[in-house]
Chains A and B, each alone.
Chain A
Amino acid sequence: MGNLVVLAEYLRGAVADVTFELLGKARELGNLLGLSVEVVVVSDRQPDDVTGRLGPADRAWLILHPDLGEFQPEGMARALAAFLGERRPRLVLTSTTAFGMDVAAGIGGLLGWPVVAYCSALQVADRTIIATSQVYGGKVLVEVEIPDEPTVIAALPGSFPAPVGPSAPAAVEIWEPAGLQPARLRLRRWVEPEAADVDITRAEILVVAGRGIKSADNLPLIEELARALGGVVAASRPVVDAGWLPRNRQVGKSGLTVRPRLYLGLGVSGAPEHLEGMKDSQLIVAINTDRKAPIFDVAHYGVVGDIFEVVPALIERLRPEGH
């Protein structure tokens, strides 16, 4: 049965890192299963200069259509569904990113193929492909058996540690979708991120507020600790969605990736989307009341306790002597 097809995440002239992670994994699975690896990119330009740096696939496909030049998630999903439907690959590999989320479930829905989202591991046992997916905020893993039919996998970025570098695929072919329905969606413009008062990606010490801070009224306490440590305050998504801190302070999938010398998580549970953005920090320390919080799986040091007891005591000890 079919090949392994990686959908390249190609946006504004750049191929995302996750595409090379997926290609690395596809190569490994392809060797185990005796399947070839193909990579697909969608564009409106021919020849597109991206096709030469899609990575070491056996074959690259350029899906070419004048309507698919700018970011066009639904049109892309429909063109890809037409392309993949003809070929019936063993697996379609994409990612749980803003790019992949429109496309992965979209293709699955259009073609009636199974989808496995939030995939953090893929292995082969007795020629059966087994995918592991992270659910319930990372508290539970679901292990599923990929059926004997084409299946769409959306992986969490950073899951596959052996990425390949950009290089030229062995062969490049062009495929032009016929009868693509007129676009119902159009990109008007890109909106660049607002300039931040504080750049959390450059801070050496980050004090990160999670859902456990309970209320915006408790932010001054967190800020005081950050000041005492000489760091800055960042946040997990629930804190930003609640409007307690601006979006440019958010760590994680829809926020920023940080690698500070010290990450101190306060009431951060550690959903997969958050861990993706901080797990490479040099020193991770977490304080949380829930001993089973996933943040403790990546932390070097943990305190199971109440931040409203520990933080004031810590601030007290950090005060300059004589005050």
Chain B
Amino acid sequence: MNLVVVVREVPDIQEELEVAADGKDIDRTFISFVMNEFDEQALEEALVLKEEGQADSVLVAALDGEGVDDILYTALAKGADEAVKVIHGLEPPIPTRVRAALLAAALKSIPHDLIFTGVQSAEDWDGQLAPLLGAALDYPWVEVVTAVRLEDGLAVVEKEFKGGLRAELEVRLPAVLGIQAATKPPRYAPVSRIRQLMRTATLKTVEVNEMSPAPAAKIRRLSRPVASRSAEFIEGSLDEVVEGLLSVFRNAGVLRGEG
């Protein structure tokens, strides 16, 4: 049973993001890239299945892009058996549908029984990868998966709905799963281990040809949201802030013994 985890880099949304001068993309010059947080969950779930003996191997694959080597070495440090970088020659941002087409082409030369990826990413406004990849490969897919176990030729998954309701679904393999959360929190890879692997491990590469452009909605502009309600900021020294908060609570009648 070979598991493939598709991961990608995304701009670190904890940092300041600026809109580029032409207004059509974010400014990618000075931002740092991190592994999509949901891809981290997908990787964790795959690694757990391997450790439990339910799967034989975990291969991690990513389209080439800024920061991708770091992400792939980190995945190896966490316990992935192999890492593959898909070379494509396109400039970012790559539409998700084109990502799906490139990955589907690359997966022809990568043995796989089950494909994991994150349920969504910070910039997939044009559709989530798991259903698009499932459609491109003609495999079944399930989004919002929070648990996976493997049975004979099947993945049995839990798909989560609002309020904690879950559907237990059985899916014939091969299939694509969009992971919302792994069974346990993603593990940490020690920096020393990542550095060591950067010296000793090799990333495999698969080259795919450019795909014909898919139909897409055209970006008019990016902007920062205008607040529908602008918070009144409580400012000043720490004492003033605390007094300000208490007075807000008091006025709303939510202070104990005063409400």
Contacts and interface: CB of A to CB of B under 8 A. Distances in A.
B223 A110 contact: no
Given A255-B162, A296-B233, 10 more contacts: A101-B143, A114-B216, A115-B126, A145-B219, A184-B171, A193-B164, A297-B225, A301-B232, A310-B238, A314-B245
Interface string A135-174: 1111111111111010110100000000000000000000
**5 nearest A-B pairs in the assembled complex, by CB-CB distance:** A109-B135, A193-B164, A115-B127, A302-B231, A105-B127
B144 A114 contact: no
Chain B interface helix/strand/loop/mixed:
mixed
Contacts of B235: 304
B161 A117 contact: no
A113 to B, nearest CB: 7
Given A143-B219, A188-B156, A137 B13 contact: yes
Contact of B126 (A116, A193, A285): A116
A187 interface: yes
Interface in A291-313: 292, 294, 296-305, 309-310, 313
Contacts of B119: 101
A317 B219 contact: no
Given A147-B218, A313-B238, A317-B246, A116 B131 contact: no
Chain A interface helix/strand/loop/mixed:
mixed
Nearest to A154: B127
B39 interface: no
Interface in A25-80: 71, 73-74, 77
B105 to A, nearest CB: 15
Interface in B213-258: 214-225, 227-235, 238-239, 241-246, 248-249, 252-256
B106 interface: no
Contacts of B175: 184
B217 A144 contact: yes
A112 interface: yes
Nearest to A150: B215
Given A255-B164, A261-B252, A313-B238, A139 B224 contact: yes
Contacts of A24: none
Nearest to B173: A184
Contact of B140 (A105, A184, A189, A313): A184
Interface in B94-117: 96-97, 100
Contacts of B14: 211
A143 B220 contact: yes
Contacts of B225: 134, 138-141, 294, 297
B95 to A, nearest CB: 9
A98 B163 contact: no
B41 interface: yes
Interface residues of B, number: 92
B224 A74 contact: no
Interface size class of A (residues with CB under 8 A): 35 or more
Interface stretch (B49-57, B180-188, B203-211): B180-188
B132 interface: yes
A109 B185 contact: no
B228 A298 contact: yes
Nearest to B44: A241
A135 B125 contact: yes
Given A73-B143, A297-B228, A303 B135 contact: no
Contacts of B197: none
A299 B16 contact: no
Interface string B115-157: 0000110111111101111111000111110000000000010
B160 to A, nearest CB: 6
B242 A313 contact: yes
A104 B131 CA distance: 8
B168 to A, nearest CB: 4
A238 B164 CA distance: 16
A229 B249 contact: yes
A314 B218 CA distance: 49
A304 B59 CA distance: 43
15 contacts: A71-B169, A77-B131, A104-B127, A113-B215, A114-B214, A114-B216, A117-B125, A136-B122, A139-B17, A139-B225, A186-B170, A188-B169, A255-B163, A304-B233, A310-B238
A260 to B, nearest CB: 9
Given A71-B167, A73-B143, A184-B140, A310 B134 contact: no
A191 B215 contact: no
A136 B223 CA distance: 11
